[in-house]
Structure 1
Amino acid sequence: MTYAICPVSTAPVRNTSSHKSEMISQLLFGELVEVLELKGRQWVKVRCCDDNFVGWVSSNQLEIITPSEYEIYRDNFAFVFDFFHPAHANSHFMPLMVGCRLPNFDGIQFTIGENTFNFSGRAVYPQDAKRDPEILVKLAKMYLNVPFLWGGRSAMGIDAPGFVQVVCRMSGIQLPREAEEQIYSGDNVEFIDHALPGDLAYFENTRGRITHVGILLKDKQVIHAYGKVRIDDIDHFGIFNQELKRYTHKLRLIKRIFSPKQESKNDAAIKSVGEATQIELF
């Protein structure tokens, strides 16, 4: 097998091998893919290693890595937890944002290919991140007002399932890329009155297909990507937009992705990479 890493801030994943093709997802810096097919010198068909999502990426936005590098990068990395923070190389900066990965990060530096970067922002190893719904909600609120972008997964533009996937991933929960596949994760919550902050709400279109998802907050509110990442009211019918004075999404089901014992209301501290002491995440 051949593997590659994303060496740029974000790379579009397209439906076909053309820059005019629909962007169906994005790779973030440091994410890994399996190379499935080459088309000329310009395009690579890839399978994203985290969620098996398949699409086409421009070859100049990927860097081929060895099998041993793949294993190291897969098992040793930290998530960027700053909204924006550049990494510094000898001759240039690399703009990074929340959700990007720092492969084989030692607390100060990381290396991709021939480039060594210094990173002084907040970064968290996955094993140090608490699987806690309060942390999930705080991470989600970092994205408030990020514009909606079809296929987006970054702080510069994001769609609804991409928003939920990236935020959950930083909280230790792995979800598929599409909302209609995410519904198979977690346990059903029968009534919205029984829902808790951090539960995921899924919504259907007029044909009954799951097309939208958001993260439930307290006081019957939901944070989701619709025009931008925003907070709206929700009830057993769906999402009610106070600005439009109408329902915008029909509720289909609610899923709980945290077990009851992980729903404790503690002020969890997360160990920030490069820090000797525990600090508050927010």
Structure 2
Amino acid sequence: MRSKFLFLFFFLLSTAVSVAQPAKPVIDAIRKQYAPDARTAIFRVEADSTATLKGKTNLPDAKQALTTQLQQQGIRFQDQIEVLPAAVLGEQTYAVVNVSVANLRSQPRDAAELATQALLGMPLQIWDKERGWYLAQTPDQYIAWVDFGGIQRMTKAEYDRWQQADKIIFTRPFGFCYSESNEQSQTVSDLVAGDQLALEKEAKQFYQVRYPDGRTGYVLKKEAQRYDRWVASLHPNEETLVSTAKTMMGIPYLWGGTSVKGMDCSGFTKTVYLLNGITLPRDASQQVYTGDLIPTPNKDFSQLKPGDLLFFGETATSEKPERVVHVGMWIGNNEFIHASGKIRISSMTPGAPNFDEPERNRFLRAKRVLGKN
């Protein structure tokens, strides 16, 4: 009896594997084609033992390509793939960050890894919901989970009105919005560099502003600018990038951080460029594909200019591919500034007091972003 049971078990198991197996290479090929980077696209699709396609994607074209190829290959299947945005969201498939810095995590729970951060006023696309968490995509296409307290969800019409409203941008590293046009009044919230609020009125010393959720307050004019005027004033160059970077000296390292409350290495370079009107991808392994390659033969840095990005990591071998794990910014004088423990300046010159031998040893390449679109 036991042998018959084992035979039936293994027969069913082998049948399940054989049913799901033909679909797997097709799924993998579609994922590689349409969603090669899971940080910026959603294609979480698998075939189960009954040849049912299950999962979620925000790429309708990818789903269509998958089902078409399976049909062309004569592979039978049942389609249960959910195309996002999820129906549970209703019409509120957009959001705007509603706190000075929203923490976006790799999974929908407080204990999950911090993936990135988003600043007050930043627009988001919302794809899914799990309990009080929302799967959001930032303007640089990064996808992660944000809790309900960090955002104000909106319909497309509400979102468009927010986008079209006049704005101010906070330009000091840190400060506050006040409930009255008085620095001694109750604070509405803290603010960090890059935060944006809707402009209601402009007075002599204060901007009257509105939050995405409708709260109002007052921001000192000396600590902010009208967004349109700020954009018009931007002329990013070597000097402005270096000066912006140096205002962040000593800020502590925070894995996943992209704000003055704490930054990781790529969060730091991203923020420096953002405050100069240039958007970089989120991670070092993404930033390395931007800009133009600058020759550094035998670690000769003489052709580098301030603002160039330096990438560090592990070179490729016959057993494993290259790994880019760190990024910093060149500031001249054979030095670079980066987030390592804290925002600090290191030297590539042996014998210098701030010589960083480990980083020099794992230097991979340099890229120039300044002047690119």
Task: Give distance in 1, aligned partners of 2:200 and 2:323.
Answer: 41
Give the alignment's TM-score, normalised by structure 1: 0.82
Q: Deviations over 1:162-181 (max 9, x none)?
A: 11111101112111101111
Q: 1:271 maps to what in 2?
A: none
Task: Give distance in 2, aligned partners of 1:241 and 1:251.
Answer: 18
1:86–1:95 Cα contact (<8 Å) kept: yes
With over 3 angstroms needed to count, the CA separation of the structure-2 counterparts of 1:245 and 1:60, relative to structure 1, is closer
Which residue, 240, 260, 271 being the options, matches 1:155?
260
The alignment status of 1:223 with 2:223, answered yes or no, reads no
Q: 1:212 maps to what in 2?
A: 326
Task: Give distance in 2, aligned partners of 1:140 and 1:253.
Answer: 20
Match runs of 1:87-126 below 5 Å: 87-89=177-179, 92-104=187-199, 108-112=207-211, 113-120=213-220, 121-124=222-225, 125-126=230-231
Q: Deviations over 1:222-257 (max 9, x none)?
A: 00000000000026xxx9994687323511111111
Match runs of 1:117-156 below 5 Å: 117-120=217-220, 121-124=222-225, 125-156=230-261
Give the alignment's TM-score, normalised by structure 2: 0.63
Task: Give distance in 2, aligned partners of 1:162 and 1:12.
Answer: 13
1:126–1:170 Cα contact (<8 Å) kept: no
With over 3 angstroms needed to count, the CA separation of the structure-2 counterparts of 1:130 and 1:243, relative to structure 1, is closer
Q: 2:136 maps to what in 1?
A: 46
Q: 2:169 maps to what in 1?
A: 79
Helix, strand or coil at the partner of 1:64: strand
Which residue, 18, 21, 24 being the options, matches 2:109?
18
Displacement after TM superposition at 1:88 (Å)? 1.4
Displacement after TM superposition at 1:72 (Å)? 4.8
2:312–2:359 Cα contact (<8 Å) kept: no
Displacement after TM superposition at 1:206 (Å)? 6.2
Structure label with greater radius of gyration: 2
Task: Give distance in 2, aligned partners of 1:122 and 1:87.
Answer: 10
Task: Give distance in 1, aligned partners of 2:370 and 2:264.
Answer: 23
With over 3 angstroms needed to count, the CA separation of the structure-2 counterparts of 1:170 and 1:180, relative to structure 1, is same
Q: Which protein has the bigger strand share?
A: 1
Q: Deviations over 1:49-98 (max 9, x none)?
A: x2010011111221113424433544654432111121113554311112
Which runs of 5 or more structure 1 residues have no equivalent in the other structure?
Answer: 261-282
Of all paired residues, the percent bearing the same amino acid is 27
Q: 2:96 maps to what in 1?
A: 5
Displacement after TM superposition at 1:117 (Å)? 2.1
Q: Deviations over 1:192-243 (max 9, x none)?
A: 21001111111113663111111111101000000000000026xxx99946
Q: Which protein has the bigger helix share?
A: 2
With over 3 angstroms needed to count, the CA separation of the structure-2 counterparts of 1:83 and 1:245, relative to structure 1, is closer
Q: 1:264 maps to what in 2?
A: none
Q: 1:257 maps to what in 2?
A: 369
With over 3 angstroms needed to count, the CA separation of the structure-2 counterparts of 1:35 and 1:129, relative to structure 1, is same
Displacement after TM superposition at 1:105 (Å)? 6.9
- Number of residue equivalences: 255
Which residue, 133, 145, 151 being the options, matches 1:56?
145
Which runs of 5 or more structure 2 residues have no equivalent in the other structure?
Answer: 1-91, 181-185, 317-321
More relative contact order, 1 or 2 (CA 8 Å, 6+ apart): 1
Q: Runs of 4+ in structure 1 displaced over 6 angstroms?
A: none
The alignment status of 1:27 with 2:138, answered yes or no, reads no
* Most deviating of 167-176 and 63-72: 63-72
Task: Give distance in 2, aligned partners of 1:258 and 1:231.
Answer: 20
The alignment status of 1:65 with 2:154, answered yes or no, reads yes
With over 3 angstroms needed to count, the CA separation of the structure-2 counterparts of 1:35 and 1:146, relative to structure 1, is same
